[in-house]
Amino acid sequence: MKSIGVFDSGVGGLTVVKELIRQLPTENIVYFGDTARVPYGIKSRETVIRFSIENILFLLKQDVKLICVACNTVSSFALPVIKNHFRVPIVGVLSPGVREAVYATRSGRIGLIGTKGTIKSKAYEKEIKQLSPKAKVTAAACPLFVPFVEEGWLSGDVVASVAKTYLKPLKDAKVDTLILGCTHYPLLKPLIRKVMGPDVILIDSAKQVAMEVKDILSREDLLNKSGRGKHKFFVSDNPEWFSGLAQRFLGKPLKDVRRVNNA
């Protein structure tokens, strides 16, 4: 039985895996986290493309029927380039989030937060404008959010203060919808909601991504209809660190994380 392949620079993609398991409990999943070269968000387009191709080649060896890029930096920087190189369907986290945001906004003022790489790529803006040419996008890079999440600082005065600084331009622009454009950010949702106020809709693309994966597998008649899926986790470094963080992202601990020399 072929698997769904998922990769990310590190642990963030587990927020997507969580949703895939929920929506597709009968599917096998193979995850690869490039923890030897994490993070990608501060790296150049060329480098992110090179790393992504290496990750995809690893997943293809694991006999996957679809690849889910569970990383916004890769989806923004690399996906348009690499998608055409491979025969396997490749799903990113960008388009599902964009569709949801365009659907949700009433004022047309959409906010976007992400890593430096994601924001710099302007990939979200382009895709939003294609679907909704009148939309006004305000974007802000939040580079300290990833280290905060990975260190477990999810609440408290310090993170709140950083969040207020980062989110100020979005509040000033009066966005009514905010795309959490990084797979780490859903863990900061309570805090972001507090800063942005209860009326701003927060778009966390994991749910939408899993729905798109389901759609494609169904359309191509690749769904696995019975049994209980198996989940395998590979990393390029630090399996213990990854296992430790998994609880926070996946909502359950991971025991069998294997290290591979991919990076």
Task: List, by residue number, the catalytic residues.
Answer: 71, 182
Of these, 30, 38, 110, 188, which contacts a second copy (CB under 8 A)? 38
Closest separation in Å from C-beta 43 to a second copy: 5
Q: Which of 76, 61, 82, 80 is nearest to 5 (CA)?
A: 61
Contact string (CB under 8 A) for a second copy, positions 92-131, x = contact: ----------------------------------------
CA distance 25 to 16: 13
**Cβ 116 vs Cβ 41: under 8 Å:** yes
Q: Candidates 60-68, 159-167, 205-213, 217-225 — which segment interacts with a second copy by CB under 8 A?
A: 159-167
Q: Does 81 bind a second copy (CB under 8 A)?
A: no
Token couple for 158: 């310090």
# binding residues, a second copy (CB under 8 A):
26
- Cα 216 to its chain centre, rounded Å, is 18
Of these, 238, 244, 248, 260, which contacts a second copy (CB under 8 A)? 238
Q: Does 241 bind a second copy (CB under 8 A)?
A: yes
CA distance 202 to 68: 22
**Cα Rg of the chain, angstroms:** 17
Of these, 139, 237, 249, 257, which contacts a second copy (CB under 8 A)? 237
Q: Does 184 bind a second copy (CB under 8 A)?
A: no
Q: Does 158 bind a second copy (CB under 8 A)?
A: yes
Return the number of the residue (78 or 213) whose C-beta is nearest a second copy.
78
Q: Does 42 bind a second copy (CB under 8 A)?
A: yes
Residues in region 46-75 near a second copy by CB under 8 A: 46-47
DSSP annotation string for 140-186: EE-TTHHHHHHTT--SSHHHHHHHHHHHHHHHHTT-SEEEEESTTGG
Cα-Cα-Cα-Cα torsion 126, 185, 178, 116, nearest 10 degrees, comes to -40
Look at residue 208 and give its three-state secondary structure: helix
95: region left, alpha or beta (phi > 0 left; psi from -120 to 50 alpha): alpha
Q: Does 144 bind a second copy (CB under 8 A)?
A: yes
Closest separation in Å from C-beta 196 to a second copy: 19
Q: Does 147 bind a second copy (CB under 8 A)?
A: yes
- Written as one letter, the residue type at 44 is S
Residue ranges in contact with a second copy by CB under 8 A: 35-38, 42-44, 46-47, 143-144, 147-148, 150-151, 153, 157-158, 161-162, 165, 236-238, 241, 263
